[in-house]
Amino acid sequence: MDTLELLGHPVRLRIVHAMRGGRTLTTAQLGALLPDVSKAMVYRHVDLLAAGGILEVADERRVRGAVERHYRLRRERASIDPATAASMSLDDHRRGFGVAVAALVAEFNAYLDRDNADPAVDPVGYQQHAIWLDRDELTALISELRAAILPRLANPAAPGRSRYLLSPILFPGEPPATGTTEAPPRE
């Protein structure tokens, strides 16, 4: 199974997201992080991700006569590279976006199902904005977002830190206007 196919399932994508940040977790620990997913399904998808090289065994221990495996994410294998993304069909992108959104909805529902969930205090955000950009402005915006996000991806788990999911989504809301000199309406 190739990376695109491996990441093309909401549960597998959620497992990959749960492993991000340098974590080393057992399948049981992953199951606790995905309480809405059956234990059997977590084990099945961890096995597929490990067989596909996205997860690797970091450690094995004997626990009550069984072997407990600790997995870690192989970051270089856990994303779609630019060449693969460029070769994807429109239907591949449609499926990939659907899986990403399904995983995001499942994660948000799992958050809301926690006893202490408080979107106002946490602070949760899910706004959508429409912005007008030319190609140079878009490139600058993407660079600025990367500059803000990338250094924080290296933050290790530590006392006082909470793990947040950040899911930037960017796509053209409509085709570019041609031949108009009118300013676009302001929101």
Kindly state whether residue 102 falls inside one of the protein's structural domains: yes
pTM of the full structure = 0.80
Give the CA diameter of the chain: 74
pLDDT tens profile 88-105? 999 999 999 999 999 999
Range of the domain at 19: 3-114
CATH of the domain at 95: 1.10.10.10
Kindly state whether residue 173 falls inside one of the protein's structural domains: no
Q: Which pLDDT belongs to residue 31?
A: 94
Q: Which pLDDT belongs to residue 179?
A: 59
Kindly state whether residue 142 falls inside one of the protein's structural domains: no
Which residues in the chain belong to E strands, given as ranges?
Answer: 24-26, 55-63, 66-73
| AA identity, residue 102 | A
Kindly state whether residue 144 falls inside one of the protein's structural domains: no
CA separation for the pair 16, 108 (Å, rounded): 16
Kindly state whether residue 57 falls inside one of the protein's structural domains: yes
Structural domains in the chain (count): 1
CA distances from 7 to 34, 94, 103 (A): 16, 14, 11
